[in-house]
């Protein structure tokens, strides 16, 4: 596959199983994340690689966050039987989330103070790092999907992942071996998204 074929054919793959990337492949994936455009060479990102027992720790952290959310909302729901059933379903789903892949790479910001590089640019650079790692995984024959959702914006989860105050979770990059071939998405024409001067 050429570089241009990779760019034109890339797509997310949510159906992931073992094996996770090998150590040399993970090294290439992380190195691709470090190679992105980075105004001021600030490297305003951090990668947390989670696998094996770490997935169970992430699961526990997600469940803690849900329980804290429920504790703060208990007075809002008068139907206790329905609330208990909904909570049980939510906790069951939450517990399984990290195990949708054998490896999860959490990409977070590591904002730097710089007079010429605002936080917005640094966030975009961290997003580019996430995309580059997904592309590298795809190029190496793995499947990957970039997820966000409520846990990307949860302060308890961020603290549990040692993400400093004032920083953001850019996403969770789930990586593994594709367990089934995803239907190839149709090409998106660019004409309506382009203007020429």
Q: Give the domain range for residue 39.
A: 12-68+92-180
Q: Locate tokens 């049980």: which residue? A: 88
Domain assignment of residue 166, yes or no:
yes
Domain assignment of residue 118, yes or no:
yes
Domain assignment of residue 147, yes or no:
yes
How far is residue 146 from each of residues 87, 101, 194, measured CA to CA in Å? 26, 12, 25
Question: How many structural domains are present in the chain?
Answer: 1
Q: Per DSSP, which regions of the chain are E strands?
A: 16-17, 45-51, 103-109, 143-147, 169-178
The whole-number pLDDT of residue 70 equals 81
Which CATH number characterizes residue 156's domain? 3.40.109.10
The whole-number pLDDT of residue 182 equals 77
Q: Which pLDDT tens digits describe the chain residue by residue (197 residues)?
A: 899 989 998 899 999 999 999 999 999 999 999 999 999 999 999 999 999 999 999 999 999 999 998 877 655 555 677 777 888 899 999 999 999 999 999 999 999 999 999 999 999 999 999 999 999 999 999 999 999 999 999 999 999 999 999 999 999 999 999 998 878 889 999 999 999 99
Phi, psi of 113 (to 5 degrees): -75, 125
Domain assignment of residue 127, yes or no:
yes
Domain assignment of residue 195, yes or no:
no
The whole-number pLDDT of residue 85 equals 82
Which residues 6+ apart lie within 8 Å of 114 measured at CB? 40, 42
Which residues 6+ apart lie within 8 Å of 50 measured at CB? 57, 58, 98, 103, 104, 105, 106
């Amino acid at each position: 596959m050429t570089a241009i074929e990779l760019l034109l054919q890339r797509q997310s793959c949510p159906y992931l199983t073992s094996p996770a990337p090998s150590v040399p492949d993970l090294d290439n994936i992380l190195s691709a994340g470090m190679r992105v455009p980075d105004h001021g060479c600030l490297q305003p990102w951090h990668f947390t690689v989670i696998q094996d027992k770490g997935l169970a720790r992430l699961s526990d952290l997600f469940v803690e966050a849900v329980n804290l959310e429920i504790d703060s909302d208990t007075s809002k729901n008068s139907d206790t039987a329905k609330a208990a059933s909904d909570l049980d379903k939510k906790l069951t789903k939450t517990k399984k989330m990290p195990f949708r892949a054998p490896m999860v790479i959490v990409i977070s910001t590591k904002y730097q103070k710089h007079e010429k590089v605002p936080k917005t640019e640094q966030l975009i650079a961290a997003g580019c790092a996430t995309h580059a790692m997904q592309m590298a995984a795809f190029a190496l024959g793995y499947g990957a999907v970039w997820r966000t959702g409520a846990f990307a914006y949860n302060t308890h989860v961020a603290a549990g992942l040692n993400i400093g105050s004032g920083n953001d979770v850019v996403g969770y990059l789930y990586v593994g071996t594709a367990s089934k071939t995803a239907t190839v998405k149709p090409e998106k024409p660019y004409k309506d998204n382009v203007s020429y001067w």
